[in-house]
Amino acid sequence: MLAHPSPDLYGSDRTFIESVRGLAAEWRVVVTLPEDGPLSAVLRDAGAEIVVLPVPVLRKAYLTPAGLVRLMFAAARALPRARRLLRRERAAALYVNTVTLPFWLLAGRLARVPALCHVHEAEDGMPRPMRTLLYAPLRLARSVVVNSRASAAAVGGSGTQMIYNGVDGPPDEPAPPRAEPGPPARIVLVGRLSQRKGSDIGVKAVQLLRQRGYEVNLTLVGSVYPGYEWFEEELRTLVGDDGSVVFAGFRSSVWNSFAEADIAIVPSRVESFGNGAVEAMLAGRPVVACATQGLVEIFTDGDNGVVVRPDDPAALADGVARLLDDWDGALAMAKRARADAALRFGTDRYHRELRAAVHGLTAAPSATLPPAS
């Protein structure tokens, strides 16, 4: 049984697809989602059965007195259903994808099903009491897998296994970058519209570049979480009537967005790994990324990308200018980055390592997953 917090198709969701593909090669896989959405059909194609069960997902909206009351009522309704589902499916193992699903870990403990929690969060900037509360449910898991050294450090490191994400490349040979970047040079930021992803930093950096005389535009590919519409409104106010910034909205596939771009930026303030960064590398586009958390495990400045100070629009603008001022060097860097990403973050390696982790989880007597039919 695999529990996932979202029916969408963003970075962590695409990593989850690879988790399903890797595990479905050996076992019957049942995936539970809190609601139906575009991810469901992709998971079925990957070999999973889907059960929609609205177990609450931890969001900031719950971090108020009224929100905590709603959370407890929702959990009280959901826990018996989750426990019954685990027993009905005779689950011998439970894979919980991210720490935002603590009630699934509790359901696994109540149903006596060994659980693995795959941590995709690196909340090291959170106040210690809140961070302790967030990660405390991991004690209910028999095994904890993290997606980077940054996530391991946030969790506490001890007793975790690190498996870098497996990122699937484009279905066809990626379109080569343009011989000359513009005019205008086309910049893309793929990811949620959010403060964590640094959407506002990207907009400000492009505004600075235009003030310096660079003819550039920016396409923002992504949408906000429900309840965070206020951030998109602030972002649109920041952009104003500047036609050089385009809000493209959510796109189920990232590859056309990268194919249309000259440069990809990853200005995240918080990023435990960075699927979008690796996808940009696999698409053959030069990348400017902020030196934050898991991104520094992916990039080496000047070798496979440009790395700049986080939370600094001027530094991000400088990084883009470095690429534009030496485009031949940028293209050579992108070529190295593509080969590096395929070597270090391939899906075959990810599938093998994840299957080994689940085998370890189910190695105890009477804890064997039923074989795939």
Degrees to nearest 5, angle at CA 100 with 96 and 104 = 45
pLDDT for 263 equals: 98
| Least reliable range by pLDDT among 22-36, 48-62, 93-107, 175-189 | 48-62
What stretches of the chain show up as alpha helix (H) in DSSP?
11-24, 38-45, 65-88, 102-110, 128-135, 149-155, 199-211, 229-239, 255-259, 275-282, 295-298, 313-325, 327-344, 347-361
Fold agreement between 2-166+347-361 and 185-344: yes
Q: Is 116 helix (H, G, I), strand (E, B) or coil?
A: strand
Q: Is 51 helix (H, G, I), strand (E, B) or coil?
A: strand
Q: Determine what percent of the chain is predicted with pLDDT higher than 90.
A: 75
pLDDT digits over 307-334, tens only?
A: 999 999 999 999 999 999 999 999 999 9
How many Cβ atoms are within 10 Å of 349's Cβ, its own excluded?
Answer: 14
pLDDT for 277 equals: 96
pLDDT at 366 over 80: no
Q: What is the DSSP letter of 114?
A: -
pLDDT digits over 224-280, tens only?
A: 988 889 999 999 999 998 889 999 998 888 999 999 999 999 999 999 999 999 999
pLDDT at 166 over 80: yes
- Looking from the CA of 206 toward its CB, the CA atoms found within 13 Å total 28
Q: How does residue 110 score in pLDDT terms, banded at 50, 70 and 90?
A: very high
Architecture of the structural domain at 2-166+347-361? 3-Layer(aba) Sandwich (3.40)
pLDDT for 172 equals: 86
Query: If you average pLDDT over every residue of the chain, what do you get?
Result: 91
Top mean-pLDDT range of 70-79, 129-138, 182-191: 182-191
Q: Determine what percent of the chain is predicted with pLDDT higher than 70.
A: 95
Q: What is the DSSP letter of 370?
A: P
Residue 119 · residue 147 · CB < 8 Å: yes
pLDDT for 368 equals: 38
pLDDT at 151 over 80: yes
pLDDT digits over 124-148, tens only?
A: 766 777 777 788 889 999 999 999 9
Q: Is 58 helix (H, G, I), strand (E, B) or coil?
A: coil
Q: How does residue 101 score in pLDDT terms, banded at 50, 70 and 90?
A: very high
Top mean-pLDDT range of 57-71, 112-126, 185-199, 355-369: 185-199
In sequence order, the 6+-apart residues with CB closer than 8 A to the CB of 316 are 201, 202, 205, 265, 267, 288, 290, 308
pLDDT at 103 over 60: yes
Domain range annotation of the chain:
2-166+347-361, 185-344
pLDDT for 363 equals: 67
pLDDT for 50 equals: 97
Residue 190 · residue 254 · CB < 8 Å: yes
pLDDT for 156 equals: 80
Residue 151 · residue 143 · CB < 8 Å: no
Q: In the sheet that 2-3 helps form, which strands lie side by side, from edge to edge? A: 48-52, 29-33, 2-3, 94-97, 115-119, 143-146, 160-162
Q: How many residues does the chain have?
A: 373
Q: How does residue 8 score in pLDDT terms, banded at 50, 70 and 90?
A: confident
Among the listed residues 288, 329, 324, the one whose alpha carbon sits nearest the alpha carbon of residue 305: 288
The superfamily CATH assigns to domain 185-344 is Glycogen Phosphorylase B; (3.40.50.2000)
pLDDT for 158 equals: 66
Q: What six digits make up the tokens of 342? A: 């395929």
pLDDT at 370 over 50: no
